[in-house]
Structure 1
Amino acid sequence: MSEKEIIDKIFARFEEFINSNDLMLVNIEELKVVWAVRDPDGKTLKGFLRIGKKHIPFYASFKKTELTLWIPSIGHIFYPDKVVKNFLEEDEKK
């Protein structure tokens, strides 16, 4: 699978991806992607998350096989290669 295909799959189901593991520090039932757009480079996604009643900006960037999510006031959350591969394998099973 090419890097572009991996990025497309993850960004298409980004909310599900960030809720699919225990790296987020919030109640996943309260986390929703409100709005998101990809940069022209195709490797960066930015938008707003709703956590509870607050809308918070986020930036996600994909580099080689890692995804980095940055949320102001929370910081960076790194999704290593293993997390990305597990998500893609689960996706293929469905």
Structure 2
Amino acid sequence: MSESLASWISLSGFVLSALVLFVRAPDRSGHTIMMNLLTAVLCLFGGFLIAAALMKLSGGITNPIVNSVLVVVGALACVAAKEMLSTRRKAK
């Protein structure tokens, strides 16, 4: 299990993103659920990009657990940015 722990942590970035988007969704239609899942996947890819940029800037992090945590933090940052931008658009 310890060999795959980093993969499970990275996967939790998708699960947490999807959970946050699902809870904050105004309705529970099939279209909304699918769009939230697609958005969660895109936020996970954003998390991978943010983690890669942070690893490159720091000079290389060799611990896979830290890398996975950076992916989750990056994915949640993408979800937070998406939610802030969507509420800003609705307020205008």
Q: Which structure carries more helix by proportion?
A: 2
State TM-score, norm by structure 2: 0.33
State TM-score, norm by structure 1: 0.33
Which of the pair has the greater relative contact order for Cα pairs under 8 Å at 6+ separation? 2
Q: Which structure carries more strand by proportion?
A: 1
Q: Which has the larger radius of gyration?
A: 2
